[in-house]
Chains A and B, each alone.
Chain A
């Protein structure tokens, strides 16, 4: 009988489980530990304009996922305006529209951004080289000379851009540059010159993120392309590279704000940053719910809480399997300890243990009287269930009277399971004596406590809830354990006398 299919299934489960988990970690930045803090920026854009008493159309560029930042949530406040989010070759944009508006108007857009150092920029294609650049006299000569000067001192597109921008620097500004600057803004001029020299480039707008800043405006940057690379240059200093705190707000070379039917339009930004637990940051993720990103987070909050518990049950079951197969602990009822452990999560450990022992002990005393009545099994267990409910009610009322609110959580115990436990223990007591009851009862409690410790561990809760792939890994582990033919730990003690001679 070949075991190959078995190992194939186990291997497949392991590979798929690990792959899904790693995918969630890498692609969605879900951290492995719950304590990790993530920095989140909250940026508010305020659009101001004076409407002229007719239809108004506002079109504003919006940031996208980019190197270093990932979009979490976005909101707008624009009463009375129609709103649409567009995504086309001009990048992501918001369009507000209104049929009739007059006077000063304000539109708000806020976005939460997760600082994600691992986040990659989407592929950016080089814009076509602009060949339609026309200079008027005498700017054409000045431009040609500026280009020639910088060209001579450079080796490639990036060094050319650097040299060009340096020539705009104060101390090296020649008269050609001064002449050109009388007619053009610095950044559009640089883009024109670069294109003129055959280097694709465009002007993009970025926001320098600084905590607590208000009324900031976007800064202009020059994006230079060479082959399949691009680099960002500061048009003021010529420094190459994107500063870490720069958020590219508009990166398609378009206008940041276009307003029709209004005057005096401007956009200003305010921002603040805070740290929040990684798990919360994950929850706010604008997840595209594809099959691979399959996640419990897409469910309503109430169902999420339910699933948090359900997804822990395999962990408890794994503890039971390990203790029975590898250690050899006897429990009363195979998975009863898992249910007791679930109750412990609600009651906390000490209260739970005390409550459990009280209920079972009192239940056993009453059950021993019931056994004298010589009842049929189902009737007897039902009588025990009612007894357990009575005990739990009594303890709840008593503990409340004495001001012990912890006692009220005793109602979380699964009563039918408790009743069967009492029934089984009682039969065990009659047939095998109190020693066996202690062994199995103690084994069950020990298993329940260990299962509780595992299921209540914040790290395990975080992992099981955020990485569904872990369930497949657990499945593979349990299949492997089901195939274990070696000795149990307690057998090393049981069989010791045989090895002694």
Chain B
């Protein structure tokens, strides 16, 4: 039921208090938070810095603007409407297909333009934003989710969380939604977290509800074969978010698009600690190593450094016999 602080320290696990004081408090200037708490600001900033994000179809800022939705949506078959200041995936409306006046959600439910207009109106009045403050609706192109990964997820788009510390990608995991998590990619709601090797983008280990998993609970697909395509590009994008925001301890959420490759979905200035569970390893040794590195260096150099130092072997392999060379040598 319980472990000891010594064991956690030996594993390099960092706790909430340490995260808050040593990393967020020290490396994240509160002045910069609005850049990541407002998805529209993040998006515009990302475009400025050449970081790929889902294409922006348009924004609705006034109730009057709701009337122009039809014109904005014309010609787009699939799109996503989200509140700029929403959190935890609230108020996100995904439309996969549209045929005339009928819009189809991923679940197959059909809605009409009036329903979409009411949803946007709700977003504007602050129904989904923190503290109920008035908000802006952001309309984005639908992500054409890479089908190579479809066996690893149930509904929902799997996203990849990379912790970027002082510009170095230090740890990564993929969050696979499940039937338990109701299509959401939140680990505490039952999504599967898969730790990813920083060097190669392959799966290290999977956890669901804090227990080790070797396959996806709904699709039954083995996790060991999971390999993120375009891994280096993804890491470069994540590392570039440091220059973009100036935040030293950052959680970047990325998705993979079939056509456009890795894209930045959103940023988090207070990333959670569950990534340590998915990786079966604490952040502390890696963060300590990065703290000893001098400032400066391009994203390419930082990614190369991380890939060189943070290599991990997968734990998902069935107990293979140890190479005999080890026994001899």
Which residues from chain A sit less than 8 Å from chain B, CB to CB?
Answer: 325, 328, 374, 376-378, 431-432, 483-488, 491-499, 501
Contact = CB atoms under 8 A, between A and B. Distances in A.
Given A376-B125, A497-B210, A492 B315 contact: no
Contacts of B189: 432
B125 A497 contact: no
Contacts, number: 77
Nearest to B131: A377
5 contacts: A376-B126, A491-B16, A495-B3, A498-B13, A498-B281
Given A497-B207, A498-B11, A484 B17 contact: yes
B17 A486 contact: yes
Contact of B3 (A377, A488, A496): A496
B277 A497 contact: yes
B126 A377 contact: yes
Contacts of A495: 3, 8, 11, 13, 15, 276-277
A325 B21 CA distance: 12
B7 interface: yes
Contacts of B64: none
B16 A501 contact: no
A137 to B, nearest CB: 94
A374 B126 CA distance: 12
Nearest to B13: A495
Interface of B: 1-5, 7-8, 10-11, 13, 15-18, 21-22, 88, 90, 122, 125-126, 131-132, 189, 207, 210-212, 276-277, 280-282, 315
B27 to A, nearest CB: 12
Given A485-B17, A487-B15, A488-B17, A498 B276 contact: yes
A498 B11 CA distance: 8
Given A495-B11, A495-B276, 14 more contacts: A374-B122, A376-B125, A483-B21, A484-B21, A486-B5, A486-B15, A487-B5, A491-B15, A492-B5, A492-B8, A496-B3, A497-B277, A498-B280, A499-B3
B15 to A, nearest CB: 4
Chain A's interface: helix, strand, loop or mixed, by majority? helix
Contact of A325 (B17, B125, B126): B17
A487 B13 CA distance: 9
A496 B131 CA distance: 35
Given A486-B15, A491-B16, A495-B8, A431 B3 contact: no
User: Which A-B residue pairs are the 8 nearest by beta carbons?
Assistant: A377-B132, A485-B18, A487-B15, A496-B3, A499-B7, A491-B15, A497-B210, A499-B3
Given A377-B126, A377-B132, A496-B1, A488 B16 contact: yes
Contacts of B3: 492-493, 495-496, 499
Contacts of A494: 210
Contacts of B88: 431
B188 to A, nearest CB: 9
A484 B207 CA distance: 29
A488 B19 CA distance: 12
Most buried by B among A431, A488, A494: A494
Nearest to A377: B132
B291 to A, nearest CB: 13
Contacts of A488: 15-17
Nearest to A485: B18
Nearest to B7: A499
A501 B210 CA distance: 13
Contacts of B15: 485-488, 491, 495
Contacts of A493: 1-3
A494 B211 CA distance: 11
Contacts of B21: 483-485
Nearest to B20: A485
Contact of B18 (A376, A486, A497): A486
Given A498-B11, A501-B315, A485 B22 contact: yes
Contacts of B280: 498, 501
Nearest to B12: A498
A429 to B, nearest CB: 14
Given A376-B125, A376-B132, A377-B132, A497 B212 contact: yes
Contacts of B282: 498
